[in-house]
Amino acid sequence: MERRAFFRWGFIRGERRRKNRIWAVLLVLSIPAFLLCEQYVVSAGRITDLSMFPTLKPGGYFLVNKFIVWITPTRRGDVVVIHPPNHPRWYYVKRVIAVGGETLSVSEGRVWVDGHLLEEPYLSGTTEPEMPPRRIPEGSYFLMGDNRMNSEDSRVFGPVPRKHIAGKIRPGRLFSLW
């Protein structure tokens, strides 16, 4: 009569190998999932300059919602991350001041959109230099930093086409769906 063991060590060794295979598969699948998520859904950024001060302080971190720009329109007042036309590998954080089809002008240190004064409670200082009325092309956006005296924005490189907008951020919130 054959004697049966109550417990077989071979079963444990086989289970350990199976667990290792599961962890290896999860690791291999998580790397491309992370890269796809960072490229198309959300990524992290860090503020390195003063162009959006006091809204965003240097050294602060933010999350860029890249998916939201495909499902909601970009409106005046949104804070966006762009690839500027003059530095296509860099990222800038700016505020949308005017959208395509609107007329923008700067006079007396204030911004006017379609003849109406733009209320800007987030602004640090005044807006210089003066700018005659300028119509923004359809599908483009006029962007400025909140610290107008220390910002390289659409006053330098012109209106930005929609394809240069990488995502939106919400100052004061880590991440939201709007």
Catalytically active residues are 51, 94
E strand spans, 23-148 = 42-46, 61-65, 79-82, 92-99, 103-107, 110-113, 116-117, 131-135, 140-144
Number of H helices, E strands in the chain: 3, 11
Q: Is there a contact between 30 and 22 (Cβ–Cβ < 8 Å)?
A: no
Tokens (6 digits) for 127: 């807006």
Tokens (6 digits) for 95: 């505020």
Q: Is there a contact between 51 and 152 (Cβ–Cβ < 8 Å)?
A: yes
Q: Is there a contact between 22 and 15 (Cβ–Cβ < 8 Å)?
A: no
